[in-house]
Amino acid sequence: MTIRLYDTSARQIRDFTPLKPGCVSIYLCGATVQAAPHIGHVRSYLNFDIMRRWFTYRGYEVTFIRNVTDIDDKIIAKAHEQNRPWWAIGYENERAFNEGYHALGCLPPTYEPRATGHVPEMVEMMQRLIDRGHAYAADGNVYFDVRSFPGYLQLSRQELDNLLQPSGEGETGKRDPRDFAMWKAAKPGEPTWPTPWGEGRPGWHLECSAMAHKYLGSAFDIHGGGLDLIFPHHENEIAQAKAYGDDFAQYWVHNAWVTMAGDKMSKSLGNSVLVSEMVKQWRPIVLRYYLGTPHYRSMIEYSEEALREAESAFARIEGFVQRVVEKAGIVEPAAQVPPAFAEAMDDDLGVPQALAVVHTTVRQGNSALAADDKEAAVARLAEVRAMLGVLGLDPLDEHWAGEGSERGEDLHGVVDSLVRMVLDQREAARARKDWATADALRDQLNQSGLVIEDSPQGPRWSLGAG
Ligand SMILES: Nc1ncnc2c1ncn2[C@@H]1O[C@H](COP(=O)(O)OP(=O)(O)OP(=O)(O)O)[C@@H](O)[C@H]1O
Ligand SMILES: [Zn+2]
């Protein structure tokens, strides 16, 4: 068995050979925490969450780094607009991102480094790049000299002579307009850090080269991100890291976008749907099914209809799981997934084909139930659970057990009918003047955290202060 992955750098699917047998190191470009996450952001991480789960299933030890870009032009602009510190904006949104990832059942990364925690590493990297003739300081900025690095633009396969690299505000003193800023000179009212070239702050690209080096060493297996990052961000990461002396990433994997009318869902385009809004309308597990099951290299055009289809497809799977559990109790996941599922996943994470195996197995399981063949139904459920576990979609997984609490109104109905049963018994005890039983029932409800009030309409319950 060999896992194959589409490597953007090679423009083809390649057999995956880890640098260190049995281990996989992955670096994924994470969020710029300037606003709350939209479903496109979460799709990106979800694709890599499934990749990570598949490597783990295949017996690899996975080290997964996802950074947080907590300093950036847009964060500073928001801070000025809202008259709040830049770090308050960053931290608030970092939490919103983590809540979004968690709501959709994504596993936390092994490490989650923040850019601002790694300024010394960035300064060290710039110093060596300057010493080696790949970078220079000008007007308090530090630029990478793109002509000094022959491998520049190999990932995106562009010609340097045709390249337009827009300069940011205050980026003066460039030797070549295509040189990019690794470090930006201090501007009034902005956060700054001291460096040998003056006060300033990191540009976006430098942090990833520096943090990948720190947490994964000079070479690692897979670098990921959305398609939009290939140029300039990933080209610039490669230039910095390789000119520094690192071998850097061996495979480049890029996820496609969630789109709206064909455009990338994006905060700046104003066409984004926030995760926090979506989870009010849709069960998080259904959202995960919707965003996680198309192939990671296919665009997802946002549509309510497709969401409803995802909801009913997932309901077919969940219905089968529930029916078997009702008949046979909890069935543990099988140790192995069916071979057709594994084959699909090995082939560049072919989740749509793998999902087809889940649905086929569910149909077989339903037939077994209809034929009253409990043993076969149980065996199919064990397989289904093993497959769903890899996709992070097992409804019996403890992660989803609390799902009801997000949907308080459903749970409220259930609790209400249970409490009513106890209150009816209490009323009956009172009617027969059995005060001891009536008080005991009330005490039990109180101990469960419920407050009971007697009103002219009969007893009412509410949750106690906690
Ligand atoms: N619509 C989308 N679909 C899939 N992935 C996305 C989408 N938007 C952003 N991503 C990915 O999410 C990760 C974090 O993105 P980042 O915080 O840099 O946002 P961004 O691309 O600036 O988003 P926006 O355009 O909304 O400002 C990156 O890997 C990026 O490629
Ligand atoms: Zn990056």
pTM, two decimal places:
0.88
List the CATH number of the domain containing 12: 3.40.50.620
What is the H or E stretch that residue 183 is in?
Answer: strand 180-185
Amino acid at position 155, single letter: L
Q: Please, which pLDDT band fits residue 200 given cuts at 50, 70 and 90?
A: very high
> How much is the pLDDT for 165?
75
Residue 313 CA to residue 305 CA, distance in Å, equals 12
User: Does 197 fall in a domain?
Assistant: yes
Residues in the chain: 466
Q: By alpha-carbon position, which residue is closest to atom 15 of ligand 1?
A: 31
Report the atom number in ligand 1 closest to the C-alpha of 226.
Answer: 31
172 and 225 in a common domain: yes
Number of domains in the chain: 3
Q: How far is the CA of 87 from the centre of ligand 1 (A)?
A: 20
Q: Please, which pLDDT band fits residue 405 given cuts at 50, 70 and 90?
A: very low
Do 101 and 45 contact (CB within 8 A), yes or no?
yes
User: Does 359 fall in a domain?
Assistant: yes
378 and 347 in a common domain: yes
DSSP characters for 232-297? IIIHHHHHHHHHHT--EEEEEEEE--EEETTEEP-TTTT---BHHHHHHHS-HHHHHHHHHSS-TT
Range of the domain at 131: 4-255
Report the atom number in ligand 1 closest to the C-alpha of 44.
Answer: 5
Residues within 6 Å of ligand 1 by CB: 29, 31-32, 40-41, 43-44, 225-226, 228-229, 255, 257-258, 264-268, 272
Q: By alpha-carbon position, which residue is closest to atom 9 of ligand 1?
A: 41
DSSP-derived 3-state class of residue 29: coil
Q: How far is the CA of 41 from the centre of ligand 1 (A)?
A: 5
User: Does 11 fall in a domain?
Assistant: yes
408 and 393 in a common domain: no
User: Does 381 fall in a domain?
Assistant: yes
Residues annotated within a binding site for Zn(2+): 29, 208, 233, 237
Do 217 and 275 contact (CB within 8 A), yes or no?
no
Phi/psi-derived region of residue 122, left when phi > 0, alpha when psi is between -120 and 50, beta in every other case: alpha
Ligand 2 being an ion, which residues bring their Cβ within 5 A of it? Answer: 29, 208
Q: How far is the CA of 91 from the centre of ligand 1 (A)?
A: 18
> How much is the pLDDT for 390?
98
Report the atom number in ligand 1 closest to the C-alpha of 228.
Answer: 31
**Among residues 229, 255, 281, which one ends one of the domains?**
255
Q: How far is the CA of 148 from the centre of ligand 2 (A)?
A: 21
3-state secondary structure 124-135: HHHHHHHHCCCE
- 354 CA to centre of own chain: 20
195 and 62 in a common domain: yes
User: Pocket of ligand 1, candidates 26, 28, 38, 44: which has the most ligand atoms within 8 Å of its Cβ, to mutate?
Assistant: 44
Least confident of 73-77, 110-114, 421-425: 421-425
207 and 116 in a common domain: yes
User: Does 138 fall in a domain?
Assistant: yes
List the CATH number of the domain containing 394: 1.20.120.640
Q: Which of 253, 240, 284 is nearest to 99 (CA)?
A: 284
User: Does 32 fall in a domain?
Assistant: yes
Any bridge partners for residue 95, and if so which? Answer: none
User: Pocket of ligand 1, candidates 39, 41, 295: which has the most ligand atoms within 8 Å of its Cβ, to mutate?
Assistant: 41
Residue 55 CA to residue 390 CA, distance in Å, equals 10
Residue 145 CA to residue 182 CA, distance in Å, equals 10
Do 102 and 275 contact (CB within 8 A), yes or no?
no
Q: By alpha-carbon position, which residue is closest to atom 23 of ligand 1?
A: 266
417 and 396 in a common domain: no
Please determine, for residue 287, whether its predicted confidence score (pLDDT) is greater than 90. yes
Q: By alpha-carbon position, which residue is closest to atom 14 of ligand 1?
A: 31
**ipTM of this complex:** 0.98
User: Does 285 fall in a domain?
Assistant: no
**Helices (runs of H) and strands (runs of E) counted in the chain:** 16, 15
Q: How far is the CA of 93 from the centre of ligand 1 (A)?
A: 14
Please determine, for residue 291, whether its predicted confidence score (pLDDT) is greater than 60. yes
* Ligand having the closest approach to the CA of 229: 1
Q: How far is the CA of 439 from the centre of ligand 2 (A)?
A: 63
Tell me: the pLDDT tens digits for 15-52? 999 999 999 999 999 999 999 999 999 999 999 999 99
411 and 373 in a common domain: no
Please determine, for residue 407, whether its predicted confidence score (pLDDT) is greater than 60. no
User: Does 274 fall in a domain?
Assistant: no
439 and 370 in a common domain: no
